[in-house]
Structure 1
Amino acid sequence: MDNIRITTEPRRDCLLCGRNGNALYEDLGDRLFGAPGKWTLEKCVNDNCGLVWLNPAPRKDEIWKAYASYYTHGDNQAPPAGVAKRIFHCVRDCYLALKYDYFNELRQSPLRFLGTLLYLFPGRRADVDFSVMYLRSRPGGRLLEIGCGSGTMLSYLGSLGWRTEGIDVDPSAVANARSKGLNVAQGDLLEQPYGDNTFDAVMISHVIEHVPNPVELLTECYRILKPGGVLSLVTPNVESMGSHLFGRHWLHLDPPRHLILYNVRTIRALARKAGFTNMEIRTTIRDAHALFWASYSISRRGTYAMGSQPGRSGRLFMLLMRLVEWGLLKVFPHKGEELSLMGVK
């Protein structure tokens, strides 16, 4: 990859407010997969905005080069469930019954109150909330996931009663998902023949930051949602605690793949441009400990090998950092590592 140049084009103005940007971080390399080039992230000069974007950015017909060594959307092999995991799954299901109305057989059972135990473990609770993309149960509801990868989340939500469909640009991921019997299309959303008012829910997890024209994407999401349908979107929060702590070493900068990075204000403005007026935005600590470890590794070594793990003392420190962030959110609720947007049509 070192001898393959990525052709770029300028992105001088903020796509939300039209103002120009000042350099936030310069001379950034790809710390994860070795894509060629050095990159600059700019931040909108409008204090009421704060959008961050890559300038210059890869041309649309060249962006594939940034993914040449990218991890494929394969499946992680889960170890067999032992006693502890089976107990956790029971508590998880009770929590989902209490909060999101899943597992009809548990909703009227006294056992459902076991779900309150997850409130003692905020990191685990954040993982479980994310596992259903913050969507309440809608048996038989039609759900589309954009950027579905190998279909892990589609399979799980299908088991909870949704009628699931997916889209992904990665042909290997699509083939993997289809081998499981999932209804998955290859390509991007605008290439699909969906009619108006088709879906009860559309979910987009860690995709919008890769998209050069996010207004166009979310406008299409709005069109294909039924009245009362829900858009659930998750993306990194560029104003998180981790971003402030690690600066140019923060994992989620991820040049040149992350083209645009959002904060609470800008993700709200983006959704409004697409037509959403009824929305809820929060930030979360989901996977924050892993993010801290990866960012720390980048600060020390300049790179991070995906999936590498710290030793025992490192794990304890990173879990403590996540607990600190959880406490911080009680005072500064916009400092979590991930943004979650729920928009209702």
Structure 2
Amino acid sequence: MSDAREKKARIAALRPAYREDLNGGTDRFLAPRRTTCPWCSSARLTRRLRTTDLLQHKPGRFTLDACADCGHVFQNPQLTAEGLEFYYRDFYDGLGEQRMSKALGGRGAMYRGRAEAVLRHDPAPKTWLDVGTGHGHFCAAARGVLPGTAFDGLDFTDGVELAAREGRVAHAYRGAFPDLAPELAARYDVVSMFHYLEHSTDPDRELRAAHEAVRPGGHLLIEVPDPESRYARLLGRWWLPWLQPQHLHLMPVANLRRRLTERGFTVVAEQHAEAHDPVDLLAAAWLALDHTAPREDAPWLAQPQGALRRTLRTALLLTGVPVLLTAALLDRIAARPLSRRLRLTNAYRLVARRD
């Protein structure tokens, strides 16, 4: 069976379950709206963004609020456990596994840069736990920088088990980090969280788990989207790091530094340009183009897409190729050298030592 026919058959097989999930609407996937900031408890909240799922195009509308006192940005109302399962399904695994593996597998230089961020503070860590490891591509690339380090991976999807089978991680832990932290107590020289904390329902609980898993004198390495990036305002809903509905919390760097100190860490390095991924303009152009085009077939759509809509989608995407190429060129040539000066960096990285 061809790949196209196989995908069509998989979509058809999944459609009844999605239809059943959506019969009751999407409101049941959202918890009650908060009236206070989950970071500092202030009641001074403002709406930052209202958008839809721009990647999978699953039904639903999502709101991000910002705290006027501390600047914390968070999804409000937040997805429930049932909602998280629904919106994550077929993104990193299932239908989306192959696409995501390709997208994340070819970023070796970025992964090596992340590993190198620790070298000045610990040139030869023996044990490293990558939390939110996905398919383990970071661990595989980081071994080229730290060949004597044993890399383990933790994730709540079956991607971590795939990472173990492929030999990218030495040991796979599947589940929630806070639940697994007691059995990992003081076991690791380094714990990393790359674009993981923003997915958590309770970031503070994750930081406490990290403090438990890192040995005294060991290091915690965190990389997250920067909600203070100027791209966040310039691009609006088309800024990729908003990533709704998956990103639940986006923390200004000053907030995270203070919280790490409160949790028993000392921040020894802060990086912005080094953590920047120069894809903002390309991603925004793609999201807008994909949003305009007829939908690609998916099991959460009520009916399969017909030949005419598929043809229209292909034609529209082809007309957008020059725009995408121009955006990619601007990302690499124009925006990247100016990213630090103009505060266009889309992420930041902190290295913190457990006291």
Q: 1:166 aligns with which of 153, 162, 165?
A: 153
Q: Do residues 238 (structure 1) and 227 (structure 2) align?
A: yes
Q: Distance in 1 between matches of 2:252 and 2:125?
A: 34
Pairwise CA distance, 1:191: 2.3
- Distance change (3 Å), C-alpha of 1:275 and 1:36: farther
Deviates more, 1:145-154 or 1:291-300: 291-300
Q: Do residues 8 (structure 1) and 31 (structure 2) align?
A: yes
Q: 2:79 aligns with which of 43, 58, 70?
A: 58
- Distance change (3 Å), C-alpha of 1:36 and 1:60: same
Aligned length: 295
- Distance change (3 Å), C-alpha of 1:10 and 1:330: closer
Q: 2:338 aligns with which of 285, 308, 328?
A: 328
Q: Do residues 153 (structure 1) and 174 (structure 2) align?
A: no
Pairwise CA distance, 1:66: 1.3
* Correspondence for 2:347: 338
Q: Distance in 2 between matches of 1:275 and 1:303?
A: 48
Contact 1:297 1:303 (C-alpha < 8 Å) held by counterparts: no
Q: 1:213 aligns with which of 202, 206, 224?
A: 202
Q: What is the alpha-carbon root mean square deviation over aligned residues?
A: 3.1
Q: Deviations over 1:94-120 (max 9, x none)?
A: xxxxxxxxxxxxxxxxxxxxxxxxxxx
- Superposed, 1:261-272 pairs within 5 Å as 261-272=250-261
Which residue type is aligned with residue 341 of structure 2?
V
TM-score by length of 1: 0.75
* Correspondence for 1:98: none
Q: Do residues 24 (structure 1) and 64 (structure 2) align?
A: no
TM-score by length of 2: 0.73
Contact 2:193 2:222 (C-alpha < 8 Å) held by counterparts: yes
- Superposed, 1:82-121 pairs within 5 Å as none
Q: 2:284 aligns with which of 276, 295, 299?
A: 295
Which residue type is aligned with residue 70 of structure 1?
F
Pairwise CA distance, 1:285: 6.3
Q: Deviations over 1:183-222 (max 9, x none)?
A: 1111011222435322100001111111011101111101
Contact 2:161 2:174 (C-alpha < 8 Å) held by counterparts: no
Q: Is the partner of 2:256 in helix, strand or coil?
A: helix
Q: Distance in 2 between matches of 1:134 and 1:174?
A: 23
Pairwise CA distance, 1:36: 2.6
Pairwise CA distance, 1:338: 1.1
Q: Distance in 2 between matches of 1:225 and 1:315?
A: 43
* Correspondence for 1:180: 166
Q: 2:264 aligns with which of 260, 264, 275?
A: 275
- Superposed, 1:219-230 pairs within 5 Å as 219-230=208-219
Pairwise CA distance, 1:312: 6.2
Q: Deviations over 1:114-158 (max 9, x none)?
A: xxxxxxxxxx7x66413x262216446110010111112222334
Pairwise CA distance, 1:57: 0.7
Q: Distance in 2 between matches of 1:303 and 1:253?
A: 19
Q: Distance in 1 between matches of 2:224 and 2:103?
A: 25
Q: Distance in 2 between matches of 1:235 and 1:34?
A: 24
Pairwise CA distance, 1:77: 9.3
Q: Deviations over 1:247-306 (max 9, x none)?
A: 122111122111011222222233234332334222136564433211123345537999
- Distance change (3 Å), C-alpha of 1:148 and 1:78: closer
* Correspondence for 1:143: 128
Q: Distance in 1 between matches of 2:123 and 2:172?
A: 20
- Distance change (3 Å), C-alpha of 1:195 and 1:169: closer
* Correspondence for 2:191: 202
- Distance change (3 Å), C-alpha of 1:313 and 1:298: closer
Q: Distance in 1 between matches of 2:255 and 2:292?
A: 29
Which residue type is aligned with residue 320 of structure 1?
L
Q: Distance in 2 between matches of 1:314 and 1:297?
A: 7
Q: Is the partner of 2:279 in helix, strand or coil?
A: helix
Q: Do residues 67 (structure 1) and 88 (structure 2) align?
A: yes
- Distance change (3 Å), C-alpha of 1:202 and 1:180: same
Q: Give the fraction of aligned pairs with identical amino acids, expressed as a percent.
A: 22
